[in-house]
Amino acid sequence: MHTRTRVNIVKIDSDLIESDGTDVLKGLDAILVPGGFGSRGIEGKIAAVNYARTNNVPYLGICLGMQVAVIEYARNVLGLSKAHSSEFNPKTPDPVIALVTEWIDRDGSVETRDESADLGGTMRLGAQTCKLVPGTRTRRAYGQEEINERHRHRYEFNNNYLQRLQDGGLVISGLSVDNELVEMIELSDHPWFIGCQFHPEFTSQPRDGHPLFNSFINAAVEYHKAGA
């Protein structure tokens, strides 16, 4: 509504991408990989990220969608062919996504979790403040220095790979208030490629939309026009 755009949503099972390849993505004006749990279809999601990145198709990765974007970049740009999330492959030699055991909550309190704890009780839940990096597409989309977005996940960007990924061209566009958790990523050499660890759909409204969705849809419109 906010962008005055009629969006035609095409739902594609990532299992289909694994079995039939990325040809099923041809003709799309943008690709969104949403949040989720479990290993089913993960390689299909990673393949979808690769298709969007290498074909300059607008991409938005939400929660798990950001994580698979990091995995894809580590594998295919940094050359870490076995990079993965420890959620799906605990024995991966390059866990670019891993379980973070401690973080500071929005009110300053320290939260902890571990692999053996209850899934729901160990999630990073609720609104968290995110600092946006000046000069990034994300900062321009929001038009402000700090945002509050809601989370629902256990695994995080592994900071042990932060410098290597940045040196390889991955842009960190959003960080937690203590600078310990990567909240958003993007690519500077791509028309529109953004991943967020939080869930913007939780704060999106029918009348006003959401800055990320609005910018994403506008990018899809531009991509469509360029190919028309």
Domains and CATH numbers, the chain: 14-227 (3.40.50.880)
**Residue of 45, 41, 151, 170 whose CA lies nearest to 96:** 170
Q: What's the burial of 216, exposed, middle or buried (CB within 10 Å: 0-12/13-18/19+)?
A: buried
Full pLDDT tens readout for the chain, 228 residues: 566 778 899 999 999 999 999 999 999 999 999 988 788 899 999 999 999 999 999 999 999 999 999 999 999 999 999 999 999 999 999 999 988 764 444 455 544 555 554 444 455 656 778 999 999 999 999 999 998 777 766 788 999 999 999 999 999 999 988 888 999 999 999 999 999 998 787 676 777 778 998 999 999 999 999 975
**What pLDDT, on a 0 to 100 scale, did the predictor assign at position 14?**
96
Backbone angles phi, psi at 6, to 5 degrees: -90, 110
Selecting among 63, 72, 149, 183, the annotated active-site residue is 63
Active site includes 130?
no
Cα separations (Å) of 188 from 71, 80, 82, 197?
18, 21, 25, 18
CB of 203 closer than 8 Å to CB of 210:
yes
Determine the pLDDT at residue 95. 94
* Whether pTM exceeds 0.95: no
Q: Which two tokens stand for residue 129?
A: 């403040």
**The pLDDT value given to residue 23:** 96
Out of 111, 201, 222, 224, pick the active-site residue.
201
Q: Is 63 a known active-site residue?
A: yes
| Helix/strand/coil percentages in the chain, nearest 5 | 35, 25, 40
The helix or strand, by DSSP H or E, that contains position 96, with its residue range, turns out to be strand 94-99
For the question of residue 43 being annotated catalytic, the response is no
Spatial neighbors of 40 by CB under 8 A, at least 6 apart, are 15
Residue 110: what pLDDT?
A: 47
Residue 69 amino acid letter: A
Q: How many angstroms separate the CA atoms of 28 and 11, rounded?
A: 11
* 71/160 Cα distance (integer angstroms): 14
Among 2, 43, 199, 222, the active-site one is: 199
CB atoms within 10 A of CB 58: 25
The predicted pLDDT at position 19 comes to 96
